[in-house]
Structure 1
Amino acid sequence: MNIEQRRTWNENHKQLTEIILNANEHVPTIKLFLDHHALLYSSKMSKDRIHTLEDIVLEHMDESNLRKYPVRARDTKNSIVWHLWHIARVEDITMNILVADSQQVLHSDQWLQKMNIRFSHSGNSMSDDDIAELSSLINIESLLEYRIAVGKQTRQIVSSLQPGEFRNKVQDSRIKKLFDEKAILQEASGIAEYWSKKTIAGLVLMPATRHNFLHLNKCVRIKDQLKKEMKQLNRLK
């Protein structure tokens, strides 16, 4: 996604926001969501020839740069792998617990063990030490596979929604489930309160789409900063 494609993505997000609550626009809403969402994941997920925002983040990046923590980007110090993990966790949690009241992808196929991490929460209010641990230990190949699994599940969930269901409010019992499953830290309870006020449409418009877009753009900025630092080091040699 170049600058023009990102501008188009934002325009499509506005369009999705405008039609998502209109039951008469349900079929176009689902189609727009699927096209919109695919651009936030590896092209391997949709098996399309589109060049996605995640593709841009990952291309020509070695493991040390993906893991680097802290970074000196203007709006984050967290590693690229942390951002990729965080947005996958938030989407997994919100779509599967709050929207579908189903099992998280994380617990469906031993993903914690595969990713070589011990963190089952969303990453909100995570300590610096834990971010450093995750950044250094996470199995990147498994992380990327987990992201694809989360993305595919989200697409199934949203595609199965019926006309009018985007207006449904998040049920209190599902908010409680966030804590029962330790999907969010107690220190991050504010995010549960925030989600509790959302409709299904609100969750689709933020965690499942715009939240990914914002963090992937942060990853691009981290990548650009790391490239600048490398060029500066090369000049000094």
Structure 2
Amino acid sequence: MTSSADILVDGFGRIRDVVQGVVTSLSPEDLAERVDPDANSIAWLVWHLTRVQDDHVADVADTDQIWLAEGWNVRFGLPFPRRATGYAHSSDDVGRVTGVSADLLWGYHDAVSTRTIEFVNRQTDSDLDRIVDKRWTPAVTLGVRLVSVLADDLQHAGQAAFIAGMLERRRRG
């Protein structure tokens, strides 16, 4: 690896690999299952991590969110405001993410991941120092924003993988 962008691309590729490995073998019922009444489901976790990545990368790249521009919001048909990302969702909100197929989750994630990686690949080390959010002290740079998304997404992808492992153990008895 020769640049900071290369490291970020590797990280976003790892999220993509985990998401694909988790969702592709599960039914909509498995994806919506909650290990206790207030737990997040795999469907909600993957939808949320992808929505956050889409929202944040679209913002720093000054592009439209794929969720809206490509009609994923219509395809998912979730009962949330169009721009919802899952931030501050209640347990009841999590329970509303049902009937979502692996193909739908993977398709949306793949589209967002592809655009994220294309965007990050165009960044130089000096680009990563660009201020993208002045509401914080210190102000947030592009590099910090991307690392924040990467860290949050890896946590949620790991949570989804853990739940998938629990479901598999239950099946084996």
Pair 109,55 (structure 1): closer, same or farther in 2 beyond 3 Å: closer
Would the aligned equivalents of 1:67 and 1:81 in 2 still touch at CA under 8 Å?
Answer: yes
Following superposition, the deviation at residue 195 of structure 1 comes to 10
Identify the residue that residue 109 of structure 2 maps to in structure 1: 147
Percent identical residues: 20
Q: What residue is the counterpart of 2:162 in the other structure?
A: 221
Most deviating of 195-204 and 29-38:
195-204
- Distance in 1, matches of 2:9 and 2:131, equals 22
SS in 2 for 1:102: coil
Matched, 1:114 2:92: no
Q: For residues 139-179 of structure 1, what are the alpha-carbon distances to aligned partners after superposition, in whole Å with 9 as ceiling and x for unaligned?
A: 4422221111111111122122244121122245xxxxxxx
- 1:132 pairs with 2:107: no
Relative to structure 1, is the Cα distance of residues 154 and 117 closer, same or farther in structure 2, using a 3 angstrom cutoff? same
String of CA shifts for 1:7-66, please: whole Å, max 9, x gaps: xxxxxxxxxxxxxxxxxx9x522222223321211xxxxxxxxxx322332354333211
SS of residue paired to 1:138? coil
- The corresponding residue for 1:61 is 26
Q: Which structure has more helix as a fraction of its residues?
A: 1
Distance 2:138 2:72 in 1: 27
Alignment check: 8 A CA contact 1:195 1:203 kept: no
Between the aligned partners of 2:58 and 2:85, the Cα distance in structure 1 is: 13
| Cα 1:226–1:72 shift into 2, 3 Å | farther
Query: Which residue, 6, 9, 14 being the options, matches 1:39?
Result: 14
Whether contact under 8 Å (2:45, 2:160) holds in the other structure is: yes
**1:157-172 superposed matches below 5 A:** 157-172=119-134
Q: TM-score, normalised by structure 2?
A: 0.84
Question: 1:185 maps to which residue?
Answer: none
Q: Which has the higher contact order (CA 8 A, sep 6+)?
A: 2
Q: Against the structure 1 CA distance between its residues 60 and 203, is the aligned structure 2 distance closer, same or farther, given a 3 Å change threshold?
A: same
Q: Which amino acid aligns with 1:202?
A: V
> In the superposition, relative to structure 1, how do residues 110 and 161 fare at CA in structure 2: closer, same or farther (>3 Å)?
same
Q: How many residues align?
A: 171
TM-score, with length taken from structure 1: 0.63
CA-to-aligned-CA distance 1:82-130 (integer Å, 9 cap, x gap): 0000000110111111x11221111111111112224331101112222
Contact 1:167 1:201 in 2 (8 A): yes
Q: Which runs of 5+ in 1 are unaligned?
A: 1-24, 42-51, 173-192, 233-237
Q: How is 1:154-193 mapped onto 2 (pairs within 5 angstroms)?
A: 154-172=116-134
Letter matched to residue 218 of structure 1: Q
